[in-house]
Structure 1
């Protein structure tokens, strides 16, 4: 297995399978940025059963110098299996042997890699994003320290990862230990974590990791959290002076880019006295507090925190709070990070649509706006599939929103998707008792018909449109006649011969003046669908009675139509004369 270090991911996968391990994933590229930073090698991978993207953390004890770290890898697997929290790295599956461990998680990227990209961001934008990340990390850490009564023991940049939505996820459970376990790996093997002494709290540096048995589970993690805050805001400044004896408190001059709002709490996290040190849960509580003076509310005011909380509580919020959140999202849509809009905001909006149709007229346009960031390969699964399900909703507000916003997503639909997912529910709109739904359904066909197959276009659709030409609403009858004219060129030859003249003639006999005009204009728009014989024997006789319509608007259009068709007949007749003349000349 020493050979694995020098092999590509495909070769690694092949070799491991030959060794008898059944891998539930296919390894992809190695995340080179992460190499050598921890005991793990990180791979992008695909889950074997559904090809969904995942990450795989790989540990091989046969690599030089790693044999004594095997207990850390085994502990990480054990703990990640059992510690479940929204802000903790999501465990999916694992494979282990006597000398190796594979842990499959949700697809993530190392936080350190994302921090490098922050240099191109503005200071305010950078601060907002980092504070949001700290809020999520503090939430996870408070959960580990308090309800789980455990110490993480490995809080640093390399233990934190970003989900596809840009949310921070706590990982690095190599030495996570319960305070109730006297023989916990942290107490006896904490020093085996790479560079552990750099992040160790003063009491650990003085008396070793076992001293943590005497303190609350949070003390080591709180100190490391303070160091993390320093490193993410001041990446080029190195470790603060407080990490060295006699561990002086941070001075205002050393604040660097750390926000003034958290500097007070930051100093308390780095208190060298573990009994007086601020815990992660207290740091979180102060940050989320909406009352208090300086050093409070630094998370509660954060844009990302407010948006996430609003989205999570959307279904339980008042109508006023919902409207406020949606306005904020609309105003912020253009400046939100694409990954946050795509993987955090968009799923919440789609979920709200499924269970809160009253807001569909506001939510759907916003969801489609957020969907502009979605890669083409993912657009169907992220947006089109939920939209197709919404067509089955009995809520008319949702149906109207779907139809009104059809131009925003119709180009993403293919013929099969329309036939299988959209059309079965769309066609129910033709028979809806609400006129606005029927009319919007008719208009939607003008966008969708290029996606219809022959069966729908030449059979199902025309049956519906024939009924719509007899609708009680004049505007629906008019729009239906116009629609038939628009789709005429896409109809089959025999269908054109059979359908068009009766359909337009029905419009000419309508009691609504604009329906009659629509019938005439549709005849004119589809002139190429008729041969000279049909024009002379069917079309012109069908139109002629409108030349003396009681409405001048109709009469004027009728004369234009007759003139147009007569010119085509005259041209054809002239060619017939030439043909006869040529025949006589030959004899």
Structure 2
């Protein structure tokens, strides 16, 4: 028959608990359809709650249904050994035998059938067509990889064998019939699953040589011939919005984009040798000349780009994203940028586009899609120049995402990481850290405020005059977040010190801070400490300082 595919696909300990056959994934609702004899379940890990997909195959009598069993085993094995970004990613697999009954579990990344996914999309928009083009390109890339790089034939490419990830990647699945191109020529005497289970693929998805079982002639044609036809069927189904049931439906081209029509017809050429190589489709089709495909392609190849190309790309990316559909921006482009920043392939300039892509996310979505990236970026050591620039970009944009940060995270993770920048050798970074601290201040605990005050005490005597002035301004602004005892102990000393600063804006900042915190002081403090410290500034050389001093005197005189 066909070779021995009955290999053990995984160990019991991988998917089941130590006590026996207990799946370590909770199976949810099954999707209506799946390729082959599989049932596709939504699932979650019992260990960490992460989403997954579980494909389950059940055979009640392995002796009577040997072909079905071997084909299913081939599909599981091929998923394990065929690794490509556009092919469904296997996490684990397992066979469970109970007498004559066999159950195969295949656990993969979380995906949904393409047919179900398309039901949630608008019926006709330019943004939808851009997204379709991206998905078709991804599947065509997978088919090209199998045919051109591996000399393998999928044998069942259609909407039913394409799944979509949470990040909107279209991936080729259903590898049950995957066979070596040359092995098909041996027909029923060879090991090719495609030959032995050709009956499982409906005729509308088969070119003529496949339908009539011309196995000996197939190796004489190009390895992509069968799957090029299937790719044409997929294109038809995507743009018509559902599965085809007859071969003559492939002639209906009114809904096929004109830019794709010629390539579509080449994929469905009658002669196998004339069918379009999917590799050429990926490289040449004008269908893929759109902003979404170009953006994703650039991000996919980011490590190959030079610094000038990256800077130009990320500088224009926010404007480009304005023209794209929100779903691919938030679910595809956003994680792409985040990962590139974490791994160092994106410049600091990418922080702003990442936050632009995250606009409109709920707190829960922001927490799952963006916050982990922010935490990782803040945790990086800033000895590396590029990491330091990323830290600077995060602090410059802190006001755009601070509202999404839980207080505990801001207090225990973000601020401690950021606080090292208070002592940075670059004055610009020290001053920026002051400004960023004002954004985080409402989320900090009293203990952390105590640590913050130690940094501010040093910055009040910083060699850079503007930093001294801004430190005083920050103290005045965060006074309301301090415990009463802490405020009484710290503020008056800090502000009266600022009044003696040689830098006029620092003296003015001290006066303004005193005015904004007048309610913190007792009449005795006003009479004995504030008024004597402020009075000399009424004859300050700087007019703005003098005017501010008179206003301050008026306020504290009223306090008496």
TM over 0.5: yes
Residue 209 (structure 1) shift: 6.4
Greater Rg over alpha carbons, structure:
1
Which residue does the alignment assign to 1:552?
A: 543
Is 1:284–2:279 an aligned residue pair?
yes
Which residue does the alignment assign to 1:348?
A: 336
Counterpart pick for 2:298 among 286, 310, 325: 310
Residue 349 (structure 1) shift: 2.1
CA contact (8 A) 2:140 2:282 kept: no
Which residue does the alignment assign to 1:167?
A: 169
Residue 389 (structure 1) shift: 3.0
Q: Which moves more between the two structures, 502-511 or 226-235?
A: 226-235
Distance 1:94 1:355, change over 3 A: closer
Which residue does the alignment assign to 2:148?
A: 146
CA contact (8 A) 2:27 2:42 kept: yes
Please list the CA deviations of residues 134-178 of structure 1 after superposition, one character each: whole Å capped at 9, or x if unmatched: 211111011112322221111110100111121210001121122
Q: Which moves more between the two structures, 150-159 or 261-270?
A: 261-270
CA contact (8 A) 1:164 1:339 kept: no
Distance 1:552 1:218, change over 3 A: closer
CA distance in 1, matches of 2:370, 2:472: 33
CA contact (8 A) 1:489 1:529 kept: no
Which residue does the alignment assign to 2:363?
A: 376
Which residue does the alignment assign to 2:317?
A: 329
* TM-score, length basis structure 2: 0.87
Counterpart pick for 2:136 among 134, 140, 143: 134
Which residue does the alignment assign to 1:219?
A: 225
Q: Which moves more between the two structures, 337-346 or 421-430?
A: 337-346
Which residue does the alignment assign to 2:109?
A: 106
Please list the CA deviations of residues 18-69 of structure 1 after superposition, one character each: whole Å capped at 9, or x if unmatched: 99424232222323xx337652222111123332111111122249x98863
Q: Secondary structure in 1 aligned to 2:322?
A: coil
Q: Secondary structure in 1 aligned to 2:75?
A: helix
CA contact (8 A) 1:357 1:398 kept: no
Please list the CA deviations of residues 71-130 of structure 1 after superposition, one character each: whole Å capped at 9, or x if unmatched: 3322211111111100000111122223211111111111112222334441x2232222
Distance 1:232 1:382, change over 3 A: closer
Distance 1:327 1:566, change over 3 A: closer
CA distance in 2, matches of 1:427, 1:376: 25
Which residue does the alignment assign to 2:82?
A: 83
Map of 1:223-302 to 2, 5 A cutoff?
223-235=229-241, 238=244, 242=248, 254-278=252-276, 282-289=277-284, 296-299=285-288, 301-302=289-290
Which residue does the alignment assign to 2:13?
A: none
CA contact (8 A) 1:457 1:491 kept: yes
Residue 464 (structure 1) shift: 0.9
Residue 530 (structure 1) shift: 1.3
Please list the CA deviations of residues 390-444 of structure 1 after superposition, one character each: whole Å capped at 9, or x if unmatched: 3333334323211110101111222332233222331222222221111111111
Which residue does the alignment assign to 2:191?
A: 183
CA distance in 1, matches of 2:439, 2:538: 33
Distance 1:508 1:66, change over 3 A: farther
CA distance in 1, matches of 2:220, 2:304: 43
Residue 368 (structure 1) shift: 0.7
Specify which structure has the bigger relative contact order, considering alpha-carbon pairs within 8 angstroms and separated by 6 or more residues. Answer: 2
Counterpart pick for 2:427 among 419, 425, 435: 435
CA distance in 2, matches of 1:115, 1:381: 24
CA distance in 2, matches of 1:266, 1:19: 53
Q: Which moves more between the two structures, 438-447 or 423-432?
A: 423-432
Is 1:24–2:16 an aligned residue pair?
no
Please list the CA deviations of residues 211-247 of structure 1 after superposition, one character each: whole Å capped at 9, or x if unmatched: 646654422212222222222223479567658xxxx
CA distance in 2, matches of 1:141, 1:474: 64
CA distance in 2, matches of 1:60, 1:240: 29
Q: Secondary structure in 2 aligned to 1:445?
A: helix
CA contact (8 A) 1:287 1:298 kept: no
Distance 1:548 1:35, change over 3 A: same
CA contact (8 A) 2:266 2:275 kept: yes
Which residue does the alignment assign to 1:207?
A: 213
CA distance in 1, matches of 2:216, 2:78: 20
Distance 1:359 1:538, change over 3 A: same
Which residue does the alignment assign to 2:4?
A: none
Which residue does the alignment assign to 1:479?
A: 470
Residue 514 (structure 1) shift: 1.9
Residue 303 (structure 1) shift: 2.7
Which residue does the alignment assign to 1:420?
A: 412
Please list the CA deviations of residues 287-311 of structure 1 after superposition, one character each: whole Å capped at 9, or x if unmatched: 413xxxxxx5443x23333212211
CA contact (8 A) 2:127 2:324 kept: no
Which residue does the alignment assign to 2:354?
A: 367
